[in-house]
Amino acid sequence: MPPYDPERHGPKRIVGDGFHAQVGALVRQIPPGAVTTYGDVGAALGRANVARLVGYAMAALPASTDVPWWRVVAAGGRITQRPAAAARQAQLLADDDVEVRDGRVQEFSRRRHPFPQTPNR
């Protein structure tokens, strides 16, 4: 069997109020000029060690999404994606007046979005 091909079958859909949907709802709250990390989103949901899953949730977003996925970066403000996608993310961040240089969000700690931390479940 050939692997799943979004070019042919379209993007995965995110349905209901599962983990991916909760991630999308949180990321939607990030205003222009702010950024967050995969780990922070998981922590804001009261769940440590799910950074990877947050990354998966971003990867599953349809192209038409209203979720500002480019405001989610890796720990320390690093951009970790395929080079082509990272370039697109850097451009979108630049549109937010966020500077990315050498795969790094500049002044990362100052731009990090303060999510209200939900208690660990």
Q: Which residues bind DNA (CB under 7 A)?
A: 1, 3-4, 9-10, 12-16, 18-22, 37-39, 49-61, 69, 72, 74-75, 78, 80-82, 85
| Residue 18 C-beta: closest distance to DNA, Å | 3
Which H or E run includes 19? helix 19-27
For the chain, the distance separating the N- and C-terminal CA atoms, rounded to the nearest angstrom, is: 40
76: left (phi over 0), alpha (psi -120 to 50) or beta: left
The least distance separating DNA from the CB of residue 96, rounded to whole angstroms, comes to: 15
Q: Which is nearer to DNA, 87 or 99 (CB)?
A: 87
Q: Among residues 112, 23, 117, 17, which one has the least CA distance to residue 65?
A: 23
**Smallest separation, CB 42 to DNA (Å):** 8
- The smaller minimum CB distance to DNA, of residues 17 and 97, is found at 17
Residue 84 CB, shortest distance to DNA, in Å, is 10
DSSP assigned state of 73: E
For residue 60, give the nearest of 28, 29, 92, 23 by alpha carbon: 23
Of residues 49 and 109, the one with the C-beta less far from DNA: 49
